[in-house]
Amino acid sequence: MAQTTAATDTKKAHINLRTRAQDKELIERAAKLRGLKVSSFILPAAIEQAKQVLENAGMMILDDDDRQAFVSAFLETHEATPYMKRAIKAHKQS
């Protein structure tokens, strides 16, 4: 994944959360132990969870370089391998 994009992106979007006071205190204490602001503590976990949900739903999450490589590979013409030819033949016979 391209890391240069992440380094140059500016954070402009906001997410607001409502939570119980004890949950907020718990998160704040944990963030403080890690030396992080609350948002820096929460965001990586939320992003990872979102990626897992989308992946489990059958979606791929690609950065620009990976997306371009995928599209190029998909659109290029490829010669069928011997294994693919046998699989096609077996499928037609079934």
* Per-residue model confidence as pLDDT tens for the chain (94 residues): 444 445 566 788 999 999 999 999 999 999 999 999 999 999 999 999 998 998 888 777 788 898 898 888 888 888 889 998 999 999 999 8
Whether residue 26 is contained in a domain is answered as yes
- Domain count within the chain: 1
Write down the pLDDT at residue 35. 97
pLDDT of 4: 47
- What pLDDT score was predicted for residue 42? 96
How far is the C-alpha of 33 from the C-alpha of 48, rounded, in Å?
21
pTM here is 0.53
Which residue reads 């659109």 in tokens?
75
Residue 65 placed within a domain: yes
Task: Tell me how far the alpha carbon of residue 84 is from its chain's centroid.
Answer: 30
Segments forming the whole domain that contains residue 43: 18-93
3 located within any domain: no
